[in-house]
Amino acid sequence: MKPFANPPQPLTASEFLSHLEEITRAYEVKTSIITFYSRIWSQVFDLKFSRGQWIFGNSPHWRALLEAKLRKSEYYPISCVVRTFTDEKHKRRTPNGETILIPTKELRMFFLPAPGQVIKLTPEECFACHNTGAQTGKPLPIEQDVKFL
């Protein structure tokens, strides 16, 4: 698949969902957390490969539901955030002084302005979105061990 570009790259709903599967497979991560958000619809679900098939959410049937929603213009514009957790771990101290291992998180963001159109945000745009308060527009504390892709 070609990399996304700005202006929007034309992709069908099925092609976009296949791209999300490729992201999860490419980094040898068995599960990604996907968030779709629009003014009238939001959905957070796992994407995982299990028993030889991709499962969006709790059922193999969720993919068809997502495809149907991504074809309807009333849901647009839509933002999509993909979080994957790598095998790379970092030590962190909890407030009570305990040391724990936290996996590195990879973060990708997409903007879907209309059905069949996808813009992949740059790493710099992902960083800006992730570290800015939605209500206030003010900077948020920077989360450690996040790779913006």
Short-list 25, 45, 27, CA closest to 35:
45
Would you state the pLDDT for residue 135?
A: 86
Q: What is the pLDDT of residues 83-141, one digit of tens each?
A: 988 888 889 888 999 999 988 899 999 999 999 999 999 999 999 989 998 889 898 98
Would you state the pLDDT for residue 26?
A: 64
Is there a domain that residue 1 lies in? no
Is there a domain that residue 95 lies in? yes
* Structural domain harbouring 140: 9-148
Is there a domain that residue 2 lies in? no
- Residue 28 predicted with pLDDT over 70: no
Is there a domain that residue 111 lies in? yes
Q: CA-to-CA distance for 37 and 140, rounded, in angstroms? A: 20
Domains in the chain: how many in total?
A: 1
Full-model pTM = 0.84
Cα-based angle 3, 22, 8 (whole degrees, multiple of 5): 30
Q: How do strand 53-56 and strand 42-50 relate by DSSP bridges?
A: antiparallel
Is there a domain that residue 4 lies in? no
Is there a domain that residue 49 lies in? yes
Would you state the pLDDT for residue 3?
A: 46
